[in-house]
Amino acid sequence: MKTNMTRNELKVFLLHAPQDKVLEYLENAHPVDILDILKEDEKNDCLDILNRLPENFIAEIIDEAEDEDKYKILMSFSDNKQKNILQEMSSDEVTDLLGILEKDQADRILQKMTTDDARNVRRLLSYEPDTAAGIMATEFVAIKGDMTVEQTLKYLQKTGEDIENIDDLYVVDKFDKLIGVVALKDLVVKSFDTHIMDIINPNVMPIPSNMDQEEVGHKFEKYGSLTMPVVDNFSRLLGIVTVDDVMQILRDESTEDIHRLGGVDEGEKISGTTMESVRSRLPWLVVNLFTAILASAVVGVFQGTIEKVVALATLMPIVTGMGGNAGTQTLTVIVRGLALDELNYENEKRVLFKEVGIGTVTGVVIGLIIGIMSFIWQGNAMLGVVMALAMILNMVVATVTGYLVPLILKKLKADPALASSIFVTTFTDCCGFFFFLGLATVFMRFLI
């Protein structure tokens, strides 16, 4: 059987190959490869392919699918098969699915689950969705410290098949409080009569149930863990977060930050409709319009100055443009630093002084270059001085603004990436026009 098939070959294979060959292929296949075919093909072909897939593989496809497609895929099967697919899905996967549905749709799915599974999922839905408890899975291995290696291995043989990840076995006391962790590799190399307490690692790093999911992601990045336990306020083990969930979270958070920096709704996608994109972008463009009017009003104040020295109209966009670029550079670094928790109370002042220094040095260099060019162009030394001073001042203001705007938004409990670039650009435009035209007004007698 050919393993490295093209997309079209794989489609033909899934539709027409003997069922036993399809099942053999799927043992080592990744669900996203099948999902790519389902996205592109006609509805009838999609249904034919899905009906040839085993229920555990369909559960994996649903987990990998886009939010708007998860429910459609599940609903394409009979009620009985839906129940079987739901049983194959982990608790966090079902919770993610229900979290994006309307109440009547979610209730319809819950009715098809076993009483215990439905109760477990309802409990997970009660947590805030963007916290550790909201993304955790409740399928994990918890063992007692007084168990032996032999007892633990037998326990795993009975229960481990239904657990997504058994690389780490969490040890709890009689009150279900987390006391340590045992790696599976440590378990299999010890003699059968070894007690768990003799090989336990007490330095386990639990995650509080109310920790924000982005902070959870940083924990995984810092420690390189595959799983981390989630505990309540009494240190009782509630569930685990796995690295695949965290990778998805970090990807979503990065996408959200990029969209918000540009004033675009985080839900907008290339495949979306024209009206969805318009609704996403228009509000921030309206905000940008009013900020542009504000900058224009600053220019209007110095209309008389511009009428006397027409060259100012040509040069002033350079000051504001360079200021906007410098502010965006600082803004990008600061927003990323906040997202990775690299910027904190301890180093805030040091980073601020660093950015002021960067703004000063880059402002002096760029100011000298454009000042000399202005002098050569117009033959007026004072025009070059005004241009250089305005550039230096605006570059310093730009870096300070790029630093302060995301910090202020964070202290106001808002997303630091929330269209920060619009506010930074507005500030650098207004200040740039003010510095340049204001200095030109002060030194007018040397410019005429």
Q: pLDDT by residue (tens digit) across 368-390?
A: 999 999 889 888 899 999 999 99
Same domain, residue pair 353 and 320 = yes
Q: Please give the pLDDT value at position 256.
A: 66
Token pair recorded at residue 148: 């032996």
The 3-class SS string of the chain reads CCCCCCHHHHHHHHHHCCHHHHHHHHCCCCHHHHHHHHHHCCHHHHHHHHCCCCHHHHHHHHHHCCHHHHHHHHHCCCHHHHHHHHHHCCHHHHHHHHHCCCHHHHHHHHCCCCHHHHHHHHHHHCCCCCEHHHHCECCCCEEECCCEHHHHHHHHHHHHHHCCCCCEEEEECCCCEEEEEEEHHHHHCCCCCCEHHHHCECCCCCEECCCEHHHHHHHHHHHCCCEEEEECCCCEEEEEEEHHHHHHHHHHHHHHHHHHHCCCCCCCCCCCCHHHHHHHHHHHHHHHHHHHHHHHHHHHHCHHHHHHCCHHHHHHHHHHHHHHHHHHHHHHHHHHHHHCCCCCCCCHHHHHHHHHHHHHHHHHHHHHHHHHHHHHHHCCHHHHHHHHHHHHHHHHHHHHHHHHHHHHHHHCCCCCCCCHHHHHHHHHHHHHHHHHHHHHHHCHHHHC
Residues 363 and 367: their CA atoms lie apart, in Å, by 6
User: 444: pLDDT confidence band, cut at 50, 70 and 90?
Assistant: confident
Same domain, residue pair 280 and 225 = no
Domain-located, residue 31: yes
Same domain, residue pair 432 and 330 = yes
Same domain, residue pair 320 and 405 = yes
Same domain, residue pair 206 and 66 = no
Domain-located, residue 324: yes
- pLDDT above 90: residue 3: no
Mean pLDDT of 30-37: 86
**Residue 63 CA: distances (Å) to CA of 92, 94, 98:** 10, 9, 12
Same domain, residue pair 193 and 313 = no
Q: How many domains does the chain have?
A: 3
Contacts of 339 (CB under 8 A, 6+ apart): 214, 253, 254, 257, 416, 417
Q: Please give the pLDDT value at position 264.
A: 61
Domain-located, residue 263: no
- pLDDT above 90: residue 100: no
Residues 277 and 339: their CA atoms lie apart, in Å, by 26
Same domain, residue pair 411 and 294 = yes
For residue range 288-331, what is the model confidence (pLDDT) as tens digits?
788 888 888 888 888 888 888 888 888 888 999 999 889 988 98
Domain-located, residue 267: no
- pLDDT above 90: residue 179: yes
Domain-located, residue 255: no
Q: What's the CATH number where 60 sits?
A: 1.25.60.10
- Count CB neighbours of 14 within 10 A: 24
Phi-psi region of 48 (alpha: psi -120 to 50; beta: other; left: phi over 0): alpha
Domain-located, residue 106: yes
User: 41: pLDDT confidence band, cut at 50, 70 and 90?
Assistant: low
Residue 85 near residue 55, CB atoms below 8 Å:
yes
Residue after which a domain boundary falls, among 227, 242, 257: 242
Higher pLDDT: 337 or 341? It is 337
Domain that includes residue 292, residue range = 274-447
Same domain, residue pair 359 and 438 = yes
Same domain, residue pair 224 and 357 = no
Residue after which a domain boundary falls, among 110, 132, 154: 132
- pLDDT above 90: residue 12: no
Same domain, residue pair 78 and 122 = yes
**Residue 26 CA: distances (Å) to CA of 71, 113, 127, 416, 448:** 22, 26, 35, 44, 80
Q: What's the CATH number where 309 sits?
A: 1.10.357.20
Domain-located, residue 409: yes
Token pair recorded at residue 82: 């839906």
Token pair recorded at residue 107: 């209730």
Q: What's the CATH number where 232 sits?
A: 3.10.580.10
Domain-located, residue 250: no
Whole-angstrom Cα Rg for the chain:
30
User: 211: pLDDT confidence band, cut at 50, 70 and 90?
Assistant: very high
Provide the CA 375 distance to its chain's centre, in angstroms: 48
Q: Please give the pLDDT value at position 180.
A: 92
Residues 231 and 166: their CA atoms lie apart, in Å, by 18
Write the burial class of residue 221 (CB in 10 Å: 0-12 exposed, 13-18 middle, 19+ buried).
middle
Mean pLDDT of the chain: 85
Same domain, residue pair 385 and 278 = yes
Residue 406 near residue 331, CB atoms below 8 Å:
yes
Length of the chain: 448
Residue after which a domain boundary falls, among 95, 112, 132: 132
Contacts of 315 (CB under 8 A, 6+ apart): 374, 383, 387, 436
Q: Please give the pLDDT value at position 259.
A: 63
Residue 232 near residue 209, CB atoms below 8 Å:
yes
Q: Please give the pLDDT value at position 281.
A: 73
Residues 165 and 137: their CA atoms lie apart, in Å, by 10
Same domain, residue pair 281 and 420 = yes
